[in-house]
């Protein structure tokens, strides 16, 4: 059985707290290892290593820092298949989906390789008589990221890639459910030439999280997870003077207009609703057909597609999706399906009793499809995070626009239509952070920013793109004048650029 400790000071170290939790193999339901849960002292040891190493790393010129990131990219390509297999084994997503997880993380590291340009300041010559003004971006120091189980490669790289490129040292607290890939990424960063102590991985639970939030040497923290925890981390981090960007849950809608290409819309719903067993913060979990005719046509095509979804082990290249991450996650999702029936929604496809032959103890569930879901139902209001799609029928475009706009969450939304006016109006008016037009999962590319609104996000700057550079740096502005331009005598009034 594997023993997973921490990665501190450039090397793997065993846990010393005496506390562990099991790491399961979702395909079989068996325990494949155990991971150490850090104490406050172990977290502090990582911070001390980071604090000692960071000044020299920040003093390394940005081009040299970028070269480390470039070598890391090459090493990840070398290890691509083995990383995907490890990820799938711990998370449960299929191998192709695991490769997508890795690739979307690497794209942000690619963006961070442009750090010599991204960290450039501004300069104004002659802002006043003999006065020049310029600005510079400088690293914050030691920063941290607390990342979720559902993207164990992508989101850690979204966090540590820009942070390290900016000259910071980074403390990563990944999910204890699937810690193997984050540990391996840290090893590859060292192989790429990153100095020891700049990237530390501390595995743990709430004790490690609270230690991060309370540590005075950690200047900023990024989080992705559920909304209640995001709000908790945001408030506690702000209370200790840290910068915080905290992203929470979602209830992503897809509007299907009467003029939409129905085959295209169904394909989009199947992939975006059931891929990765629905364990994505950008999964489409609510379909909103406009008009009963559209709804009936959608259900006619959707039901057989959901019934024919192929659920299988992560190693099956023909599987549409694999198991959920844990038994507790499986039970939670089934509980929501039970609740939806109690609330009066129509369960058109029931995947609760799915069993995988030869993998009877795995955490599998078939696709579920609800029709006639109402906005006051809990299955509409709350994030289910499983292979469950709810259809909410809207009588017209105005109601379809209102549903995602008035929902508590505001992460992502999509509209499928051939009407450019409707699409433009929807994109302008919907109160959601990321919008797709005939694109079901509108995750922006790496040089744009990613982030939801309302209860989906707490804090101002978003993830990756230009916002990540702003978040992980502080701006210093210098006003300079040299002796030849100075007048004798003290000045007591406010300086004016005249």
- Asked if pLDDT for residue 370 goes beyond 90, the answer is yes
Query: For position 425, which CATH number holds?
Result: 3.40.309.10
Residues 266 and 212 in one domain: no
Query: For position 95, which CATH number holds?
Result: 3.40.605.10
What mean pLDDT is predicted for residues 471-485?
Answer: 90
Q: What residues are annotated to the active site?
A: 281
Query: What pLDDT score was predicted for residue 483?
Result: 78
Closest to 279 measured CA to CA, from 433, 57, 93: 93
Q: pLDDT for 25-41, tens place per residue?
A: 999 999 999 999 999 99
Query: What pLDDT score was predicted for residue 1?
Result: 81
77 located within any domain: yes
The residue range of the domain holding 31 is: 2-248+456-478
- Asked if pLDDT for residue 491 goes beyond 80, the answer is no
488 located within any domain: no
Pairing type for strands 20-25 and 199-201 reads unpaired
324 located within any domain: yes
Residues 389 and 466 in one domain: no
Q: pLDDT for 416-443, tens place per residue?
A: 999 999 999 999 999 999 999 999 999 9
What mean pLDDT is predicted for residues 218-240?
Answer: 97
Query: What pLDDT score was predicted for residue 495?
Result: 67
Compute φ and ψ for 333, nearest 5 degrees: -65, -45
When the pLDDT of each residue in the chain is averaged and rounded to a whole number, the result is: 96
d(CA 98, CA 87): 6
What mean pLDDT is predicted for residues 404-409?
Answer: 98
Residues 460 and 425 in one domain: no
Task: Give percent above pLDDT 90 in the chain.
Answer: 95
445 located within any domain: no
Q: Of 293-297, 398-402, 487-491, which range is least confident? A: 487-491
Residues 207 and 344 in one domain: no
SS3 track for 402-449: HHHHHCCEECEEEEECCCHHHHHHHHHHCCCCEEEECCCCCCCCCCCC
Beta bridge partners of 389: 369
496 located within any domain: no
pLDDT category at 497 given cuts 50, 70, 90 is low
Residues 180 and 281 in one domain: no
SS3 track for 435-446: EEECCCCCCCCC
- Asked if pLDDT for residue 301 goes beyond 80, the answer is yes
Query: What pLDDT score was predicted for residue 485?
Result: 57
- Asked if pLDDT for residue 173 goes beyond 80, the answer is yes
Number of structural domains in the chain: 2
Residues 350 and 272 in one domain: yes
483 located within any domain: no
d(CA 138, CA 117): 13
pLDDT category at 121 given cuts 50, 70, 90 is very high
- Asked if pLDDT for residue 79 goes beyond 60, the answer is yes
- Asked if pLDDT for residue 496 goes beyond 90, the answer is no
492 located within any domain: no
Residues 218 and 286 in one domain: no
Residues 233 and 295 in one domain: no
pTM for the model stands at 0.95
Query: What pLDDT score was predicted for residue 421?
Result: 97
Task: Give percent above pLDDT 70 in the chain.
Answer: 98
Of the residues 384, 409, 437, the one at which a domain ends: 437
Please, are residues 63 and 179 in contact by the beta-carbon 8 Å criterion? no
pLDDT category at 488 given cuts 50, 70, 90 is confident
176 located within any domain: yes
Q: pLDDT for 372-385, tens place per residue?
A: 999 999 999 999 99
Residues 91 and 186 in one domain: yes
Please, are residues 155 and 443 in contact by the beta-carbon 8 Å criterion? no
Of the residues 409, 437, 465, the one at which a domain ends: 437
Residues 144 and 213 in one domain: yes
Query: What pLDDT score was predicted for residue 494?
Result: 72
Residues 203 and 80 in one domain: yes
pLDDT category at 130 given cuts 50, 70, 90 is confident
pLDDT category at 486 given cuts 50, 70, 90 is low
Residues 263 and 241 in one domain: no
């Amino acid at each position: 059985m594997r023993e997973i400790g921490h990665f501190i000071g450039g090397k793997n170290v065993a846990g010393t707290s005496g506390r562990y939790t099991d790491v399961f193999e979702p395909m079989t339901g068996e325990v494949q290892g155990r991971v150490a849960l850090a104490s406050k002292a172990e977290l502090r040891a990582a911070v001390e290593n980071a604090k000692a190493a960071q000044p020299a790393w920040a003093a390394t010129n940005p081009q040299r820092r970028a070269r480390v990131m470039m070598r890391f990219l090459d090493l990840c390509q070398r290890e691509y298949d083995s990383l995907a297999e490890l990820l799938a084994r711990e998370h449960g997503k299929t191998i192709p989906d695991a490769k997508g997880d890795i690739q979307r993380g690497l794209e942000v590291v690619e963006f961070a390789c442009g750090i010599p340009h991204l960290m450039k300041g501004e300069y104004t010559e002659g802002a006043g008589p003999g006065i020049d003004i310029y600005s510079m971006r400088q690293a914050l120091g030691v920063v941290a990221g607390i990342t979720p189980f559902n993207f164990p490669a992508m989101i850690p790289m979204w966090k540590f890639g820009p942070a390290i490129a900016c000259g910071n040292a980074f403390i990563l607290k990944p999910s204890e459910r699937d810690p193997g890939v984050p540990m391996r990424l840290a090893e590859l960063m060292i192989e790429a030439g990153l100095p020891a102590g700049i990237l530390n991985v501390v595995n743990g639970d709430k004790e490690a999280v609270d230690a991060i939030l309370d540590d005075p040497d950690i200047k900023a923290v990024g989080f992705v997870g559920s909304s209640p925890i995001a709000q908790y981390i945001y408030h506690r981090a702000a209370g200790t003077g840290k910068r915080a960007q905290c992203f929470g849950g979602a209830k992503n809608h897809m509007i299907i207009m009467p003029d939409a290409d129905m085959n295209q819309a169904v394909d989009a719903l199947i992939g975006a609703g059931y891929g990765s067993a629905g364990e994505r913060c950008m999964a489409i979990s609510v379909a909103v057909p406009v008009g009963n005719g559209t709804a009936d046509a959608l259900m006619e095509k959707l039901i057989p597609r959901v019934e024919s979804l192929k659920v299988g082990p992560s190693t099956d290249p023909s599987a549409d999706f694999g198991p959920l991450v844990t038994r507790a996650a499986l039970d939670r999702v089934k509980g929501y399906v039970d609740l939806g029936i109690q609330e009066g929604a129509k369960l058109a496809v029931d995947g609760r009793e799915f069993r995988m032959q030869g993998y009877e103890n795995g955490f599998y569930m078939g696709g579920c499809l609800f029709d006639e879901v109402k906005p006051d139902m809990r299955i509409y209001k709350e994030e289910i995070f499983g292979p469950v799609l709810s259809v909410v029928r809207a009588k017209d475009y105005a109601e379809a626009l209102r549903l995602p706009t008035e929902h508590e969450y505001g992460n992502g939304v999509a509209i499928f239509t051939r009407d450019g006016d409707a699409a433009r109006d929807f994109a302008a008016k919907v109160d959601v952070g990321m919008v797709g037009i005939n694109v079901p999962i509108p995750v922006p590319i790496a040089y744009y920013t990613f982030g939801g609104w309302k209860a989906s996000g707490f804090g101002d700057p978003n993830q990756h793109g230009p916002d990540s550079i702003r978040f992980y740096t502080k701006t210093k502005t210098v006003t300079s004048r040299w002796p030849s331009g100075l007048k004798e005598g003290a000045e007591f009034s406010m300086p004016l650029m005249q």
